[in-house]
Amino acid sequence: MKMELIQPFINAADAVLSQGLQSPMSIENLSMEEEAYRFKGVAAMIELSGDIEGRIIFDLAPKTAARVASHFAGTQLPETDELVREAVCELANQVIGNAVAVLNDQGFKFRVHPPALHTSEQGPKSTEDTEALVLCFDTADGSVYMNIALRYHVSSSMAARAGA
């Protein structure tokens, strides 16, 4: 994966989380993982197709998800509230939408698919991606994980342009 693909997602996560939580955040950890991904709590997975394809997962421990959702909603939400799951999906939508806007204005064309919700309660579900960048953002409400597995589409003219 090339950094030019990843950076817009990091910037978007920083902007969306900082604004929504009204506090600064930092990248606590960054690693490459080749094993199938196991969800940690409440996770929203969004797939991209087009010049760039793959998927991005936003994953929060249940307590963190409730705290973040409460912050965004402006009211205290219990972990079990359906709005908590909705909030994680909307958060993922906003981060990915903002990043996609930047990449699209750079000439990349793709489609963003609606988010799919996963929870750790559903069992050890995993994705089949072989290489993903995992970022852990440290926020005042807890850790927010973003797992990015993206690649240039093989037949895309953008791949040639990018030298992939």
Partner 1 sequence: MEQFAPVKRSKDGQPVQYLIVDDSVFARKNLGRIIESFGGQVVGEAGDGLTAISEYDRLKPDIVLMDITMPQMEGIEAAEKIVQKTPEARVVMVSSVGYQENIVAALQRGARHFVQKPVKPEVLYEVIKYVLGEDGVVANAASAGA
Site residues (vs partner 1, CB under 8 A): 16, 19-20, 69, 72-74, 82-83, 86-87, 89-90, 93-98, 100-102, 104-105, 112, 114
Sequential DSSP letters for 23-81: S--EEEEEEEE-SPP---SEEEEEEEEESEEEEEEEEE-HHHHHHHHHHHHTS---TT-
User: Quick one: 38 or 111, whose CB is closer to partner 1?
Assistant: 111
Query: Least distance from C-beta 146 to partner 1, angstroms?
Result: 15
Query: Least distance from C-beta 82 to partner 1, angstroms?
Result: 8
Which of 52, 64, 36 minimizes the C-alpha distance to 136? 64
User: Quick one: 11 or 104, whose CB is closer to partner 1?
Assistant: 104
Query: Least distance from C-beta 66 to partner 1, angstroms?
Result: 13
Q: Measured over all CA atoms, what is the biggest interatomic distance in the chain, rounded to whole angstroms? A: 49
Query: Least distance from C-beta 87 to partner 1, angstroms?
Result: 5
User: Quick one: 98 or 143, whose CB is closer to partner 1?
Assistant: 98
User: Quick one: 73 or 164, whose CB is closer to partner 1?
Assistant: 73
